[in-house]
Amino acid sequence: MDIKEETTYTDPNVGVLQLTKHGIKFTPPLYQQRYQRVKGIIEKYGKGTFVKVIDLGCSDFKFFRHLRHITGIQEIVLLDKDETTLKDNIHKLCPLAGDYVMLRSEPLLVKVVSGDATLFDQLMCDTHVVTMIELIEHMYPADVSLLAENVFKRIKPKLVIVTTPNSDFNHFIPDFVPGTFRHWDHKFEWTEEEFRNWCHEIVLNNVDYDVEISGCGLGPNNTYCSQMAIFVCSATDNNETSVVSQNSGAIDSEQISLSTQAYNIRQRKTRILSEVTFPVDSRTEVEKDQHLILHKFHKLVSFLQQGEDNQQPNLDYRDETPDERGDEKSNKKEHCEWVPIPVSGMTTVNNHSTVFRCVHVTRESDIHWNDVSGDYFLFPVVNQKYAIITSAALSAWVNMDLDREIPFSLIRSTVEEECFDCSEDGDSWKGKFTLWNYCDSSSDEVEGHINDDEITTDWPEIDNVNYSWDSWENVVEDEVENDCAWGAGDENPDPDWAF
């Protein structure tokens, strides 16, 4: 094809093709487009119900990165006849550090299998999806027929996805030599008509399946660079024939005679090279809610300790005290009086706009609970020592931004251990928790009267010399510089850095 200027073709499914006289460029790369399309098809037809997937001709496991993130998938079998390639890439399947932090909600078992895709094995039972991405063109036509029989008559999955190069697209590739293939190992490359005929023959021989023909990498004249077939099984119980009887071996023996090469391949037994189990979140729903409650509670403590969060405009931190205003004789009642003024950008909780406000008071008697109404909630901090939370405020805080409501009975039982005092029950429940633990707990602390004379600051001694704050700050800076000066070959002087 004589290409004089650059032309761009957009595939509405996944990407863009740029065609120039110097070559073709897919964005994203064509193999990624195929993976994304196959993943999307599995999600479309499965809707979270497909549990087991077999990727035939998996090679170096590139598609596994997409498979593992499909909702519902709990078992993945990666099968290829090239045992060397499988062993060289097994390390890619190991769970990453993030897999132990963000645990899966469902278990996942991955099996790496060396074997022949044309032969049935018990590990293929109860399979919901079979993918064959750019596989069949690497097989001889006789083996492709055996592969189709194994997949559609023995495994009988609910969904089969096949992709293969489209030879009709080859003449759009600059400097492509007619009569050759795109890859040295390709045994054939089908035209659109040949591929369509093969798909229709499979449907005729397997009446439970319907087929949809599509592709990836849309180019000139609506021609796809890689063509795709989507086989969907309409049978209710499609796995009833997936368990092979003893005479299945006789069928294979008859088909072995098709070629000497096929015979030699089929004598190799299926072998599991590795099994990888991914970490899973085994907590119950109640335990998950308890951990979420504690997380929200600690965020509340942080909010009351540190002040207003600019990213949360529905949090209003009134932390100005009479001493900070320089007005020691100011009216304390005026200071703690709270007027519910709406704040822009408020978070919606249960279809209501909710505002949380912190206010400092000297005594608990200065708190005006009657001023709190509607969806405005108050968190009083008493004498800059401890905070008081009500059942309504705590429940609204915990359920903020959630799509469901956690009952207060669970919130209370989880949070009470964090409080040093709780009073009353039901809607009148109140809890008190310490914000700054710089003195021993005592009855004075519970009442909010902590003796400030007991709070002391002991400056550290270095070489038996007492330092003032200014000189101590210089010493710390010198120590930091020395710690950062260790060489690349030295042992890390601070083991706490090794997370």
**What are the per-10-residue average pLDDT scores of the chain (499 residues)?**
70 82 86 95 96 97 96 97 96 94 94 96 96 97 96 97 96 87 95 97 96 93 94 75 41 41 54 96 94 94 72 48 42 36 35 73 85 76 90 91 92 92 85 72 43 47 47 48 43 38
Q: pTM of the full predicted structure?
A: 0.69
Q: Which of 398, 403, 404 is nearest to 412 (CA)?
A: 398
What local confidence, expressed as pLDDT, does residue 424 receive?
79
- Rounded to 10°, the helix 391-398/408-415 angle is 100
What local confidence, expressed as pLDDT, does residue 310 receive?
45
What local confidence, expressed as pLDDT, does residue 24 receive?
86
Cα gap 137→165, rounded to integer Å? 8
CATH architecture of 7-278: 3-Layer(aba) Sandwich (3.40)
Q: Which residues contact 240 (CB under 8 A, 6 or more apart)?
A: 156
What local confidence, expressed as pLDDT, does residue 423 receive?
85
What local confidence, expressed as pLDDT, does residue 237 receive?
63
- Rounded to 10°, the helix 285-306/408-415 angle is 60
**Residue positions counted in the chain:** 499
Residue written as token pair 């119950």: 284
Residue ranges, comma separated, of all CATH 3.40.50.150 domains in the chain are 7-278
Number of neighbouring beta carbons within 10 Å of residue 280: 14
